[in-house]
Amino acid sequence: MRNIYLTIILVATVSFCSAQIPAGYYDNAAGKTGEDLKAALNMIIKGHKKFSYTSSATDVWDILKVTDRDPNNSNNVILLYTGRSVNAAQEYNNGAGWTREHVWAKSRGNFGTSQGPGTDVHNLRPCDISMNSTRNNRWFAECDVPVYDNGVFTGSYKSDTEWLWKPRAEVKGDVARMIFYMATRYEGYDGEPDLEIIDYIPADNNTSEPIHALLSDLLAWNQEDPVDNWEINRNNIIYSNYQHNRNPFIDHPEYANYIWGGGTPPVAGFTSPIILTLILDNYPTETSWNITNNATGNYISSGSNYTVKNAAITKSISMKSGEYTFNIADAYGDGICCSYGNGSYTLTDADGTQIATGGDFTSSDQVVFTVGTGEPVADTSMPEGYCSTKGNIVSDEWIDYVNLGSVNNATGANSGYADFTSQSTALNSGSQYTISFSTGYSGTAYEEYWKIWIDYNRDGDFYDAGEEIAASSSSSSNTLYKSFTVPSGISEGTARMRVSMKYNAYPAPCETFTYGEVEDYAVVLSGSKSGTVIGNNNEIIKRPLEKQFVNLYPNPAESFINLQLFNGTDASVDIYNINGQLSKSIHVNDFARIRIADLPAGVYIMKITNKKRTLIKRFIKQ
């Protein structure tokens, strides 16, 4: 099996209000990492306006009623650890109302409710009084004992053996970014505490040292629960109306990785086209590469299946403004230099500026870079990197007719595969269409099985639920007809439609088979709506894109991959290889550590099904 290295990015289409970040606000942080970035951000966000904890003038009670107002009931606030909506006017109310939660516990640094760290609204959230007490000053880390309040599961967890707390899935990223803010804003100047995040659990649960844990889990939560509109709106209100400073980790969640995770900012500002020069080693079949658009996850260009030793490959790739990732992989795990040859790769831009060069890696290497301003520009071109497929023998039967809209193609045998993507038709979300197709025979009319797919989300494959639009069989040359409705949730732009006909059995999207033929066409999709995903059997399942009900990590993985299901979900899980063959089936309750050491290296499709929905995830087995 061909080993393809991919970077799979699940993109959440969130309306980030970046226009409300003041122009130049983060200029002094550009290009920095580690302590340099942390220090630059501290200079940007310190010196803000401070408010009293409790006062007859505007205090934090008043501010929280605005920042955390329920969008569906302006008289209420949303509580952090339960998500409940309660009457905002019930400030504490002798223990019957709500209270103010210091996310960075005020005992961790012993700053109490003093102006500054004790009243910083970026660290305060409305909370149930009982949950405030239960959380206490527990460290933030993974744990698994469900927390109930008045007999109702809150979505939060604690540990009975360690002093740990895990917020509900919908806000664990919010919590992480608030902790990152506090550790950046309060650096020990002007009598303020020097707050630091640690990556161990202290033996003394009651320490008043200015520390909070657990860094590695907080970094993971920052990724698993992306910034949403609630956080953005809250950040904007605090900046515009009250403190006049921002939480940088809401505006730029990647900063956390640049400071504490060893990440580096993308190499920026290059000019299209990008030129790849690839020198292969003595084992060219092991080498594969791709460039993905980080805003969509779609392939921009890719290459593999090389056969000539030490060959020099040069490719010019036209790219729109945006952020991209170049990935290169070696299936054997010894790179392309210098064990078996002197292979290398070099990326340059149109001006001859070198973006990256290398070759001495193990299984893979990667570089993130931007073209132009780096601001994403809608890319409506057809993705590259679709898998190969064909029938080997077409002397007895072949595809002789395909009609869909303006595609009207009658042909003879085409050597088992034909690329007709120069022919296209327009498809609109919510509209119904009929595709017709037929078989040509040289003699005996054999039983032929058809499948047709459209890559509705334009991610370079046909494995997402709902992308199979037709399945049929016939033993005659009569024209077959299949009607289908284009779902919402599609990605606007040009996508590939694959028509596959195989003797005696249904084909898979990437299969090479003995008798039959495959033809590819182009379709131009329009009418996308955010907030939906393509579902099973053309069902549209609506959910907030920024809050996933699963987390799959690490990805890529070697021996084990972890599957976390949120909100008490259980599901059946099927794992398929890239040819559509079932490799493994299990049932998961909440969490599973799945052994994949027995699977060959490559790309796999994980189908996760519960009572309400089906979700397709991809992962790489290294």
355-403 pLDDT, tens digit each: 888 898 888 888 888 887 655 555 667 877 788 999 999 999 999 999 9
Q: Is the pLDDT of residue 354 over 90?
A: no
Start-to-end Cα distance in the chain:
13
Q: Pick 142 or 613 by higher pLDDT.
A: 142
User: What is the three-class DSSP state of 537?
Assistant: helix
Identify the band that residue 497 occupies on the pLDDT scale cut at 50, 70 and 90: very high
550 phi and psi, to 5 degrees? -135, 160
**Unique residue bearing structure tokens 């994403």:** 376
pLDDT tens digits along 83-134:
999 999 998 887 778 999 999 999 999 999 999 999 999 999 999 999 999 9
Tell me which range, 113-122, 528-537, 609-618, is most confidently predicted by mean pLDDT: 113-122
What pLDDT does 575 receive? 87
Identify the band that residue 618 occupies on the pLDDT scale cut at 50, 70 and 90: confident
Cα–Cα distance between 581 and 153 in angstroms, integer?
Answer: 39
Per mean pLDDT, which range of 169-173, 213-217, 610-614 is the poorest?
610-614
Within 79-129, strands assigned E span: 85-87, 98-102, 124-128
Per mean pLDDT, which range of 9-18, 232-241, 526-535, 586-595 is the poorest?
9-18
Cα–Cα distance between 578 and 588 in angstroms, integer?
Answer: 22
Cα–Cα distance between 461 and 496 in angstroms, integer?
Answer: 9
Provide, for the chain, the percentages of residues in helix, strand and coil under a 3-state DSSP scheme, each rounded to the nearest 5: 15, 40, 45
What pLDDT does 534 receive? 32
Two tokens, residue 421: 């993507």
C-alpha atoms less than 13 angstroms from C-alpha of 463 in its C-beta half-sphere: 27
What pLDDT does 22 receive? 87
Q: Is the pLDDT of residue 297 over 90?
A: no
Sign of CA dihedral 458, 461, 467, 470: positive
What pLDDT does 270 receive? 78
Cα–Cα distance between 561 and 117 in angstroms, integer?
Answer: 39
Cα–Cα distance between 1 and 580 in angstroms, integer?
Answer: 13
How many whole angstroms from its chain centre is CA 597?
24
DSSP string, 390-407: EEEE-SSEEEEEEEETTE
For residues 138-147, average pLDDT: 96
Q: Is the pLDDT of residue 556 over 80?
A: no
Cα–Cα distance between 137 and 99 in angstroms, integer?
Answer: 15
Query: Which strand ranges, in their side-by-side order, compose the sheet holding 312-317?
Result: 312-317, 274-279, 344-348, 354-358
Cα–Cα distance between 364 and 333 in angstroms, integer?
Answer: 8
Identify whether the C-beta of residue 291 lies closer than 8 Å to the C-beta of residue 9.
Answer: no
Long-range contacts of 237-241 (CB under 8 A, 24+ apart): 237/66, 237/67, 238/63, 238/67, 238/121, 238/122, 239/20, 240/20, 241/66
Q: Is the pLDDT of residue 7 over 80?
A: no
What pLDDT does 500 receive? 97
For residues 336-362, average pLDDT: 89
Parallel, antiparallel, or unpaired: how do β-strands 164-166 and 139-140 relate? Answer: parallel
Q: Is the pLDDT of residue 14 over 50?
A: no
Identify the band that residue 296 occupies on the pLDDT scale cut at 50, 70 and 90: low
Identify the band that residue 13 occupies on the pLDDT scale cut at 50, 70 and 90: very low
The DSSP symbol for 487 reads P
Fold assignment, 390-526? Immunoglobulin-like (2.60.40)
For residues 476-500, average pLDDT: 90
Selecting from 3.20.20.140, 3.30.70.260, 2.60.40.3080, 3.90.640.10, what CATH number does the domain 548-621 have? Answer: 2.60.40.3080
**Unique residue bearing structure tokens 């990492």:** 33
Phi/psi region, residue 95 (left: phi>0; alpha: psi -120 to 50; beta: rest), is: left
Cα–Cα distance between 303 and 496 in angstroms, integer?
Answer: 18
Query: Residue 477 to residues 393, 416, 418, 437, 501: CA-CA distances in angstroms?
Result: 18, 18, 20, 9, 13
For the chain, percent of residues with pLDDT exceeding 90: 55
What pLDDT does 21 receive? 83
Cα–Cα distance between 305 and 223 in angstroms, integer?
Answer: 33
What pLDDT does 619 receive? 77
What pLDDT does 205 receive? 92
Q: Is the pLDDT of residue 510 over 50?
A: yes
User: What is the three-class DSSP state of 37?
Assistant: helix
Mean residue pLDDT of the chain comes to 85
Two tokens, residue 308: 């000539």
Cα–Cα distance between 425 and 517 in angstroms, integer?
Answer: 21
Cα–Cα distance between 93 and 141 in angstroms, integer?
Answer: 31
**Unique residue bearing structure tokens 């805003």:** 295
Domain ranges of the chain: 33-260, 267-371, 390-526, 548-621
Per mean pLDDT, which range of 407-411, 461-465, 533-537 is the poorest?
533-537
Cα–Cα distance between 285 and 343 in angstroms, integer?
Answer: 13
Per mean pLDDT, which range of 298-302, 316-320, 446-450 is the poorest?
298-302
Per mean pLDDT, which range of 101-115, 460-474, 597-611 is the poorest?
597-611
pLDDT tens digits along 254-294:
899 899 988 767 666 778 889 999 999 999 988 989 888 87
Q: Is the pLDDT of residue 244 over 70?
A: yes
Residue 1: other Cβ atoms inside 10 A? 11
Within 169-318, strands assigned E span: 196-198, 211-213, 267-270, 274-279, 287-293, 299-303, 312-317
What pLDDT does 579 receive? 63
Q: Report the candidate in 260, 288, 272, 362 with the shortest Cα–Cα distance to residue 7.
A: 288
pTM of this prediction?
A: 0.51
Cα–Cα distance between 522 and 487 in angstroms, integer?
Answer: 17
What number does CATH give the domain 267-371? Answer: 2.60.40
Q: Is the pLDDT of residue 2 over 80?
A: no
Mark out the alpha helices in 215-359 (DSSP H runs).
Answer: 215-224, 229-237, 248-251, 254-260
Per mean pLDDT, which range of 80-94, 198-212, 584-598 is the poorest?
584-598
218 phi and psi, to 5 degrees? -65, -40
Cα–Cα distance between 386 and 401 in angstroms, integer?
Answer: 23
Give the H or E element holding residue 428: strand 417-428
Give the H or E element holding residue 130: helix 129-135
